[in-house]
Amino acid sequence: MATSMDTPQIREENFVSAYVHFPYCESKCHYCDFFSFAESKFDAVARGTIYNAIAQEARQFKGDGLGDLTTVFLGGGTPSLVPIDDLATALTPLGLSSCSEVTIEANPSSITEEKARQWLALGINRVSMGVQALDDARLKWLGRVHGVAAAHTALEALGNAGFKNVSIDYILGVPGQGIDTIRRELESFIPLFPHIQHVSAYLLTLKNSNPKCTELPSEEEQIDHLMEANRVLTGLGFHHYEISNYARPGRAAFHNENYWLGGGYVGIGPSAHGFWPQAGIRTKNVSNLERYRMHVVTGNHPWEWTERLTPEQKALEFLMLRLRRASGFKLEEYTAATGESFVAHRQPRLERAVKQGLAHWDSQGVRLTTRGLFLSDQITSDFA
Protein backbone atom coordinates (compact mmCIF):
# COMPACT_ATOMS: atom_id res chain seq x y z
CA MET A 1 0.00 0.00 0.00
CA ALA A 2 1.09 3.58 -0.56
CA THR A 3 2.68 5.56 2.21
CA SER A 4 3.22 9.31 2.35
CA MET A 5 6.91 8.74 1.61
CA ASP A 6 6.02 6.68 -1.45
CA THR A 7 3.40 9.07 -2.82
CA PRO A 8 4.94 10.69 -5.92
CA GLN A 9 4.32 14.32 -6.86
CA ILE A 10 3.27 14.85 -10.45
CA ARG A 11 5.03 18.20 -10.77
CA GLU A 12 8.35 16.46 -10.20
CA GLU A 13 7.83 14.18 -13.21
CA ASN A 14 7.96 14.51 -16.97
CA PHE A 15 5.39 12.14 -18.43
CA VAL A 16 5.29 11.17 -22.08
CA SER A 17 2.31 8.82 -22.16
CA ALA A 18 -1.01 7.93 -20.61
CA TYR A 19 -2.63 4.51 -20.54
CA VAL A 20 -6.42 4.53 -20.04
CA HIS A 21 -8.10 1.26 -19.07
CA PHE A 22 -11.74 0.57 -19.97
CA PRO A 23 -12.75 -2.69 -18.26
CA TYR A 24 -15.70 -3.94 -20.32
CA CYS A 25 -15.62 -6.33 -23.27
CA GLU A 26 -18.14 -8.31 -25.31
CA SER A 27 -17.15 -11.58 -23.64
CA LYS A 28 -14.22 -12.77 -21.55
CA CYS A 29 -11.76 -14.83 -23.63
CA HIS A 30 -10.47 -17.87 -21.72
CA TYR A 31 -6.81 -16.89 -22.29
CA CYS A 32 -7.22 -13.28 -21.08
CA ASP A 33 -5.56 -12.25 -17.81
CA PHE A 34 -6.45 -8.57 -18.04
CA PHE A 35 -8.84 -6.89 -15.61
CA SER A 36 -12.01 -7.03 -17.69
CA PHE A 37 -15.65 -8.12 -17.57
CA ALA A 38 -18.30 -9.08 -20.07
CA GLU A 39 -20.39 -5.94 -20.47
CA SER A 40 -23.62 -7.97 -20.37
CA LYS A 41 -23.07 -8.39 -16.61
CA PHE A 42 -23.51 -4.63 -16.09
CA ASP A 43 -26.29 -2.32 -17.27
CA ALA A 44 -25.58 0.91 -19.11
CA VAL A 45 -25.95 2.99 -15.95
CA ALA A 46 -23.36 0.93 -14.05
CA ARG A 47 -20.93 1.11 -16.96
CA GLY A 48 -21.56 4.84 -17.22
CA THR A 49 -20.53 5.43 -13.60
CA ILE A 50 -17.15 3.81 -14.27
CA TYR A 51 -16.67 5.80 -17.48
CA ASN A 52 -17.42 8.97 -15.50
CA ALA A 53 -14.88 7.96 -12.85
CA ILE A 54 -12.24 7.37 -15.54
CA ALA A 55 -12.92 10.87 -16.90
CA GLN A 56 -12.70 12.31 -13.38
CA GLU A 57 -9.36 10.61 -12.77
CA ALA A 58 -8.05 12.09 -16.04
CA ARG A 59 -9.19 15.56 -14.90
CA GLN A 60 -7.49 14.99 -11.55
CA PHE A 61 -4.16 14.26 -13.22
CA LYS A 62 -4.52 17.37 -15.37
CA GLY A 63 -5.37 19.44 -12.31
CA ASP A 64 -2.27 18.11 -10.56
CA GLY A 65 -0.11 19.52 -13.34
CA LEU A 66 0.09 16.82 -16.02
CA GLY A 67 1.86 18.37 -19.00
CA ASP A 68 1.55 17.72 -22.71
CA LEU A 69 1.55 14.06 -23.68
CA THR A 70 3.04 12.44 -26.76
CA THR A 71 1.02 9.21 -26.76
CA VAL A 72 -2.24 7.93 -25.31
CA PHE A 73 -3.29 4.29 -25.40
CA LEU A 74 -6.88 3.21 -24.75
CA GLY A 75 -6.86 -0.42 -23.61
CA GLY A 76 -9.03 -2.87 -21.79
CA GLY A 77 -11.34 -4.63 -22.03
CA THR A 78 -12.58 -3.37 -25.36
CA PRO A 79 -12.51 0.44 -25.58
CA SER A 80 -14.21 0.29 -28.98
CA LEU A 81 -17.40 -0.58 -27.08
CA VAL A 82 -17.35 2.70 -25.14
CA PRO A 83 -20.03 5.20 -26.28
CA ILE A 84 -18.45 8.07 -28.19
CA ASP A 85 -19.62 10.71 -25.69
CA ASP A 86 -18.00 8.80 -22.81
CA LEU A 87 -14.77 8.47 -24.80
CA ALA A 88 -14.78 12.20 -25.52
CA THR A 89 -15.33 13.06 -21.86
CA ALA A 90 -12.45 10.83 -20.75
CA LEU A 91 -10.04 12.02 -23.43
CA THR A 92 -10.67 15.77 -23.37
CA PRO A 93 -8.63 16.46 -20.19
CA LEU A 94 -5.60 14.72 -21.69
CA GLY A 95 -5.24 17.27 -24.49
CA LEU A 96 -4.85 15.04 -27.54
CA SER A 97 -3.76 17.93 -29.76
CA SER A 98 -0.22 17.49 -28.43
CA CYS A 99 -0.15 13.75 -29.15
CA SER A 100 1.49 12.20 -32.18
CA GLU A 101 -0.08 8.79 -31.48
CA VAL A 102 -3.48 8.03 -29.92
CA THR A 103 -4.37 4.34 -30.09
CA ILE A 104 -7.65 2.58 -29.39
CA GLU A 105 -7.87 -1.19 -28.96
CA ALA A 106 -10.79 -2.67 -30.87
CA ASN A 107 -12.36 -5.98 -31.74
CA PRO A 108 -13.62 -6.55 -35.30
CA SER A 109 -17.19 -7.04 -34.13
CA SER A 110 -17.34 -3.58 -32.54
CA ILE A 111 -15.99 -1.54 -35.47
CA THR A 112 -18.19 0.35 -37.89
CA GLU A 113 -17.28 3.02 -40.42
CA GLU A 114 -19.40 5.60 -38.57
CA LYS A 115 -17.72 4.82 -35.28
CA ALA A 116 -14.27 4.97 -36.91
CA ARG A 117 -15.02 8.44 -38.29
CA GLN A 118 -16.06 9.55 -34.81
CA TRP A 119 -12.78 8.26 -33.37
CA LEU A 120 -10.80 10.23 -35.94
CA ALA A 121 -12.77 13.35 -35.06
CA LEU A 122 -11.80 12.88 -31.40
CA GLY A 123 -8.10 12.75 -32.26
CA ILE A 124 -7.64 8.96 -32.25
CA ASN A 125 -5.29 8.19 -35.14
CA ARG A 126 -4.32 4.56 -34.63
CA VAL A 127 -6.35 1.37 -34.14
CA SER A 128 -4.99 -1.84 -32.61
CA MET A 129 -7.37 -4.56 -33.74
CA GLY A 130 -7.62 -8.02 -32.21
CA VAL A 131 -7.78 -10.20 -35.31
CA GLN A 132 -6.04 -13.04 -33.38
CA ALA A 133 -6.72 -15.76 -35.96
CA LEU A 134 -7.62 -16.04 -39.64
CA ASP A 135 -9.54 -19.29 -39.37
CA ASP A 136 -13.05 -19.59 -37.93
CA ALA A 137 -12.38 -22.89 -36.17
CA ARG A 138 -9.30 -21.47 -34.46
CA LEU A 139 -11.20 -18.33 -33.47
CA LYS A 140 -13.85 -20.54 -31.89
CA TRP A 141 -11.19 -22.53 -30.00
CA LEU A 142 -9.81 -19.22 -28.68
CA GLY A 143 -13.28 -18.17 -27.54
CA ARG A 144 -13.45 -15.13 -29.82
CA VAL A 145 -16.85 -13.65 -30.67
CA HIS A 146 -16.02 -12.71 -34.27
CA GLY A 147 -15.30 -14.66 -37.45
CA VAL A 148 -12.78 -14.06 -40.22
CA ALA A 149 -15.37 -12.23 -42.33
CA ALA A 150 -15.83 -9.69 -39.53
CA ALA A 151 -12.09 -8.92 -39.59
CA HIS A 152 -12.29 -8.18 -43.33
CA THR A 153 -15.35 -5.98 -42.85
CA ALA A 154 -13.80 -4.09 -39.93
CA LEU A 155 -10.57 -3.37 -41.82
CA GLU A 156 -12.53 -2.15 -44.83
CA ALA A 157 -14.52 0.15 -42.53
CA LEU A 158 -11.34 1.58 -40.99
CA GLY A 159 -9.83 2.20 -44.41
CA ASN A 160 -13.01 3.84 -45.73
CA ALA A 161 -13.16 6.07 -42.64
CA GLY A 162 -9.63 7.31 -43.29
CA PHE A 163 -7.42 5.41 -40.85
CA LYS A 164 -3.87 5.14 -42.20
CA ASN A 165 -2.25 3.42 -39.23
CA VAL A 166 -3.76 0.11 -38.12
CA SER A 167 -2.11 -2.63 -36.07
CA ILE A 168 -3.43 -6.18 -35.92
CA ASP A 169 -2.84 -8.86 -33.29
CA TYR A 170 -2.17 -12.39 -34.51
CA ILE A 171 -1.79 -15.29 -32.08
CA LEU A 172 0.79 -18.04 -32.63
CA GLY A 173 1.23 -21.36 -30.86
CA VAL A 174 -2.38 -22.44 -31.20
CA PRO A 175 -2.97 -26.21 -31.48
CA GLY A 176 -3.14 -27.37 -35.09
CA GLN A 177 -1.90 -24.08 -36.50
CA GLY A 178 1.31 -25.16 -38.24
CA ILE A 179 3.88 -23.09 -40.08
CA ASP A 180 2.19 -23.63 -43.46
CA THR A 181 -0.98 -22.11 -42.03
CA ILE A 182 0.91 -19.11 -40.67
CA ARG A 183 2.59 -18.45 -44.00
CA ARG A 184 -0.59 -18.86 -46.04
CA GLU A 185 -2.75 -16.69 -43.78
CA LEU A 186 -0.35 -13.79 -43.37
CA GLU A 187 0.72 -13.70 -47.02
CA SER A 188 -2.86 -13.71 -48.28
CA PHE A 189 -4.40 -11.37 -45.69
CA ILE A 190 -2.03 -8.50 -45.03
CA PRO A 191 -1.53 -7.32 -48.64
CA LEU A 192 -5.30 -6.81 -48.92
CA PHE A 193 -5.17 -3.89 -46.48
CA PRO A 194 -2.38 -1.35 -47.03
CA HIS A 195 -3.35 0.53 -43.86
CA ILE A 196 -2.08 -2.43 -41.80
CA GLN A 197 1.18 -0.81 -40.74
CA HIS A 198 1.94 -2.89 -37.67
CA VAL A 199 1.54 -6.52 -36.60
CA SER A 200 1.80 -7.95 -33.08
CA ALA A 201 2.49 -11.67 -33.55
CA TYR A 202 2.71 -13.29 -30.14
CA LEU A 203 2.50 -16.69 -28.53
CA LEU A 204 -0.63 -17.89 -26.82
CA THR A 205 0.06 -18.20 -23.10
CA LEU A 206 -2.26 -19.97 -20.70
CA LYS A 207 -2.20 -20.48 -16.97
CA ASN A 208 -1.32 -24.01 -15.88
CA SER A 209 -4.80 -24.28 -14.40
CA ASN A 210 -6.40 -23.74 -17.82
CA PRO A 211 -7.58 -27.15 -19.15
CA LYS A 212 -6.51 -26.14 -22.68
CA CYS A 213 -2.92 -25.73 -21.49
CA THR A 214 -2.14 -29.39 -22.18
CA GLU A 215 -3.14 -28.94 -25.84
CA LEU A 216 -0.46 -26.34 -26.59
CA PRO A 217 2.39 -27.27 -28.95
CA SER A 218 5.87 -27.93 -27.58
CA GLU A 219 8.31 -25.10 -26.89
CA GLU A 220 10.31 -25.95 -30.02
CA GLU A 221 7.13 -25.89 -32.14
CA GLN A 222 6.26 -22.52 -30.63
CA ILE A 223 9.69 -21.19 -31.58
CA ASP A 224 9.10 -22.53 -35.12
CA HIS A 225 5.82 -20.56 -35.24
CA LEU A 226 7.60 -17.37 -34.15
CA MET A 227 10.40 -17.88 -36.67
CA GLU A 228 7.95 -18.50 -39.51
CA ALA A 229 5.96 -15.37 -38.66
CA ASN A 230 9.25 -13.48 -38.65
CA ARG A 231 10.19 -14.79 -42.11
CA VAL A 232 6.80 -13.91 -43.59
CA LEU A 233 6.42 -10.48 -42.03
CA THR A 234 9.93 -9.31 -42.82
CA GLY A 235 9.38 -10.60 -46.34
CA LEU A 236 6.30 -8.38 -46.54
CA GLY A 237 8.36 -5.32 -45.62
CA PHE A 238 7.85 -5.17 -41.88
CA HIS A 239 10.74 -4.47 -39.51
CA HIS A 240 11.05 -6.77 -36.49
CA TYR A 241 11.75 -4.18 -33.80
CA GLU A 242 10.60 -5.98 -30.62
CA ILE A 243 9.99 -9.60 -29.59
CA SER A 244 6.40 -9.75 -30.82
CA ASN A 245 6.12 -6.56 -32.86
CA TYR A 246 6.66 -5.74 -36.52
CA ALA A 247 6.20 -2.37 -38.18
CA ARG A 248 6.52 -0.72 -41.53
CA PRO A 249 9.10 2.12 -41.61
CA GLY A 250 8.17 4.86 -39.14
CA ARG A 251 5.19 2.93 -37.76
CA ALA A 252 6.59 1.37 -34.59
CA ALA A 253 4.24 1.73 -31.62
CA PHE A 254 5.64 4.86 -29.96
CA HIS A 255 3.55 4.28 -26.85
CA ASN A 256 5.05 0.85 -26.26
CA GLU A 257 8.52 2.08 -27.14
CA ASN A 258 8.18 4.53 -24.25
CA TYR A 259 7.50 1.59 -21.91
CA TRP A 260 10.50 -0.36 -23.18
CA LEU A 261 12.81 2.65 -22.93
CA GLY A 262 11.82 3.33 -19.32
CA GLY A 263 9.83 6.51 -19.97
CA GLY A 264 7.16 7.89 -17.68
CA TYR A 265 3.45 7.21 -18.04
CA VAL A 266 0.32 7.71 -16.00
CA GLY A 267 -2.20 4.91 -15.58
CA ILE A 268 -5.87 5.88 -15.62
CA GLY A 269 -8.78 3.51 -14.98
CA PRO A 270 -9.30 0.45 -12.77
CA SER A 271 -6.16 -1.76 -12.49
CA ALA A 272 -4.06 0.62 -14.63
CA HIS A 273 -0.33 0.88 -13.92
CA GLY A 274 1.84 4.00 -13.98
CA PHE A 275 5.55 4.72 -13.80
CA TRP A 276 7.24 7.80 -12.34
CA PRO A 277 10.86 7.45 -13.51
CA GLN A 278 12.41 10.39 -11.66
CA ALA A 279 10.99 9.15 -8.37
CA GLY A 280 11.62 5.52 -9.38
CA ILE A 281 8.07 4.61 -8.37
CA ARG A 282 5.47 2.35 -9.93
CA THR A 283 1.77 2.71 -9.16
CA LYS A 284 -1.16 0.35 -9.62
CA ASN A 285 -4.80 1.32 -9.43
CA VAL A 286 -7.23 -0.85 -7.50
CA SER A 287 -8.62 -3.86 -9.35
CA ASN A 288 -12.16 -3.44 -8.07
CA LEU A 289 -14.75 -1.35 -9.88
CA GLU A 290 -16.60 0.05 -6.85
CA ARG A 291 -13.46 0.73 -4.83
CA TYR A 292 -11.94 2.43 -7.86
CA ARG A 293 -14.99 4.66 -8.27
CA MET A 294 -15.11 5.55 -4.57
CA HIS A 295 -11.44 6.58 -4.51
CA VAL A 296 -11.90 8.84 -7.51
CA VAL A 297 -15.16 10.52 -6.46
CA THR A 298 -13.64 11.40 -3.09
CA GLY A 299 -10.75 13.14 -4.84
CA ASN A 300 -8.05 10.54 -4.18
CA HIS A 301 -5.76 8.75 -6.56
CA PRO A 302 -7.10 5.18 -6.73
CA TRP A 303 -3.75 3.53 -6.09
CA GLU A 304 -3.84 0.03 -4.65
CA TRP A 305 -0.10 0.25 -4.09
CA THR A 306 3.00 2.19 -4.92
CA GLU A 307 6.44 0.65 -5.13
CA ARG A 308 9.78 2.43 -4.98
CA LEU A 309 12.21 0.43 -7.11
CA THR A 310 15.46 -0.74 -5.55
CA PRO A 311 18.74 -0.42 -7.49
CA GLU A 312 18.57 -4.16 -8.15
CA GLN A 313 15.04 -3.88 -9.52
CA LYS A 314 16.02 -0.95 -11.74
CA ALA A 315 18.92 -2.95 -13.19
CA LEU A 316 16.73 -6.01 -13.82
CA GLU A 317 13.98 -3.93 -15.44
CA PHE A 318 16.53 -2.22 -17.67
CA LEU A 319 17.68 -5.61 -18.96
CA MET A 320 14.20 -7.08 -19.21
CA LEU A 321 12.83 -4.13 -21.21
CA ARG A 322 15.84 -3.27 -23.39
CA LEU A 323 16.50 -6.87 -24.41
CA ARG A 324 12.93 -7.03 -25.73
CA ARG A 325 13.99 -4.58 -28.45
CA ALA A 326 15.86 -5.78 -31.52
CA SER A 327 18.34 -2.90 -31.14
CA GLY A 328 19.22 -3.95 -27.57
CA PHE A 329 21.20 -1.38 -25.58
CA LYS A 330 24.50 0.46 -25.55
CA LEU A 331 26.94 -0.43 -22.78
CA GLU A 332 27.12 3.19 -21.61
CA GLU A 333 23.31 3.25 -21.29
CA TYR A 334 23.47 0.39 -18.82
CA THR A 335 26.22 2.13 -16.85
CA ALA A 336 24.28 5.41 -16.80
CA ALA A 337 21.15 3.65 -15.55
CA THR A 338 22.81 1.44 -12.92
CA GLY A 339 26.24 2.87 -12.15
CA GLU A 340 27.81 -0.49 -13.00
CA SER A 341 29.60 -2.13 -15.90
CA PHE A 342 27.42 -4.65 -17.68
CA VAL A 343 30.32 -6.75 -18.94
CA ALA A 344 32.43 -6.86 -15.78
CA HIS A 345 30.67 -9.80 -14.14
CA ARG A 346 28.96 -11.31 -17.19
CA GLN A 347 31.66 -11.91 -19.80
CA PRO A 348 31.49 -15.74 -19.69
CA ARG A 349 27.70 -15.65 -19.97
CA LEU A 350 27.85 -13.13 -22.81
CA GLU A 351 30.39 -15.23 -24.69
CA ARG A 352 28.21 -18.32 -24.23
CA ALA A 353 25.12 -16.53 -25.58
CA VAL A 354 27.07 -15.30 -28.59
CA LYS A 355 28.47 -18.79 -29.27
CA GLN A 356 24.94 -20.23 -29.09
CA GLY A 357 23.76 -17.74 -31.70
CA LEU A 358 21.46 -15.95 -29.26
CA ALA A 359 23.20 -12.58 -28.89
CA HIS A 360 25.51 -10.06 -30.53
CA TRP A 361 28.04 -8.25 -28.37
CA ASP A 362 30.69 -5.71 -29.25
CA SER A 363 32.26 -2.58 -27.79
CA GLN A 364 29.09 -0.62 -28.45
CA GLY A 365 26.44 -2.80 -26.90
CA VAL A 366 24.40 -5.97 -26.64
CA ARG A 367 21.44 -7.13 -28.68
CA LEU A 368 19.74 -10.45 -29.18
CA THR A 369 19.47 -12.38 -32.42
CA THR A 370 16.06 -13.24 -33.82
CA ARG A 371 16.07 -16.59 -32.04
CA GLY A 372 17.49 -14.91 -28.94
CA LEU A 373 14.57 -12.48 -28.87
CA PHE A 374 12.19 -15.41 -28.71
CA LEU A 375 14.12 -16.74 -25.70
CA SER A 376 14.66 -13.36 -24.05
CA ASP A 377 13.14 -14.33 -20.69
CA GLN A 378 15.71 -17.12 -20.28
CA ILE A 379 18.58 -14.91 -21.46
CA THR A 380 17.58 -12.01 -19.23
CA SER A 381 17.44 -14.38 -16.25
CA ASP A 382 20.92 -15.63 -17.12
CA PHE A 383 22.30 -12.10 -17.44
CA ALA A 384 20.64 -10.74 -14.28
Q: Residue 27 — pLDDT band, cuts 50, 70, 90?
A: confident
The confidence score (pLDDT) of residue 237 equals 98
Q: Of 3-7, 37-41, 185-189, 197-201, which gets the smallest average pLDDT?
A: 3-7
Q: Kindly report the length of the chain.
A: 384
The confidence score (pLDDT) of residue 272 equals 97
Torsion angle of the four alpha carbons 193, 194, 196, 197, in this order, in degrees rounded to the nearest 10 = 170
Phi, psi angles (nearest 5°) of residue 371: -65, -35
DSSP-assigned beta bridge partners for residue 305:
284
Mean pLDDT, range 133-139, rounded to an integer: 93
The confidence score (pLDDT) of residue 260 equals 96
Q: Residue 6 — pLDDT band, cuts 50, 70, 90?
A: low
Q: Are 127 and 106 in contact (CB under 8 A)?
A: yes
d(CA 144, CA 30): 9
d(CA 63, CA 106): 29
Phi-psi sector, 66: left (phi>0), alpha (psi -120 to 50), beta: beta
Q: Write the pLDDT tens digit of every residue in 57-73.
A: 999 999 888 999 999 99
Mean pLDDT, range 211-230, rounded to an integer: 92
Q: Residue 182 — pLDDT band, cuts 50, 70, 90?
A: very high
CA terminus-to-terminus distance, the chain: 27
d(CA 271, CA 152): 32
Q: Is the pLDDT of residue 11 over 80?
A: no
Mean pLDDT, range 244-250, rounded to an integer: 97
Q: Judge if pTM exceeds 0.75.
A: yes
Phi, psi angles (nearest 5°) of residue 343: -80, -30
Q: Residue 24 — pLDDT band, cuts 50, 70, 90?
A: very high
Distances in whole angstroms, Cα of residue 308 to Cα of each of 2, 7, 41, 282: 10, 9, 36, 7
Mean pLDDT, range 198-204, rounded to an integer: 96
Q: Of 4-18, 274-288, 356-370, which gets the smallest average pLDDT?
A: 4-18
Q: Residue 29 — pLDDT band, cuts 50, 70, 90?
A: low
The confidence score (pLDDT) of residue 211 equals 81
Mean pLDDT, range 196-218, rounded to an integer: 89
How many helices (H) does the chain have, and how many strands (E)? Answer: 14, 17
Mean pLDDT, range 308-327, rounded to an integer: 95
The confidence score (pLDDT) of residue 345 equals 86
d(CA 248, CA 24): 31
The confidence score (pLDDT) of residue 30 equals 64
Q: Are 264 and 19 in contact (CB under 8 A)?
A: no
Q: Residue 285 — pLDDT band, cuts 50, 70, 90?
A: very high
User: What percent of the chain is predicted at pLDDT more than 90?
Assistant: 83
Amino acid identity for residue 336 in this structure: A
Q: Write the pLDDT tens digit of every residue in 75-89.
A: 998 999 999 999 999
The confidence score (pLDDT) of residue 14 equals 79
What does the mean pLDDT of the chain come to?
A: 93
Mean pLDDT, range 94-121, rounded to an integer: 96
- Total Cβ atoms within 10 A of residue 237: 12
Phi, psi angles (nearest 5°) of residue 373: -60, -40
The confidence score (pLDDT) of residue 2 equals 43
Mean pLDDT, range 275-292, rounded to an integer: 95
d(CA 139, CA 94): 36
Beta strands 126-132 and 166-172 are parallel
Mean pLDDT, range 107-112, rounded to an integer: 94
Q: Residue 5 — pLDDT band, cuts 50, 70, 90?
A: very low
Q: Write the pLDDT tens digit of every residue in 318-362.
A: 999 999 999 999 999 999 999 999 999 899 999 999 999 999 999
